[in-house]
Amino acid sequence: MNTSDYMNLVRKKLNTQNVNQTAKALGWTATKVKNYVENKNRMNNEACLVIANILEVPVIEVIATMEVLRTDDNEKKLMWLQACGSNLKG
């Protein structure tokens, strides 16, 4: 999973058709959503919490995914994978 994958799932869950509609539904700027859709930025913890609540998944899963994507350190990736039960692919 990456930020784009999460945003696609959110878009489907919210039944929005584009970045602007998704941004409005989330109360975020279109630029923020577009950067997530295009994998230009990783979500901060607050964004992870919003996404997790919408998708009804544990917030640690979303946070761990972002941390795995953020780091090049394999030990840190493993730590985050273990933190969420290793259901992620880094």
**pLDDT tens-digit readout, 19-77:** 999 999 999 999 999 999 999 999 999 999 999 999 999 999 999 999 999 999 999 99
DSSP state of 86: T
Q: How far apart are CA 90 and CA 80, in angstroms?
A: 10
Helices (H) and strands (E) in the chain, counts: 6, 0
pTM of the entire predicted model: 0.88
Question: Structure tokens of 15?
Answer: 């039944």
Largest Cα separation within the chain, whole Å, is: 39
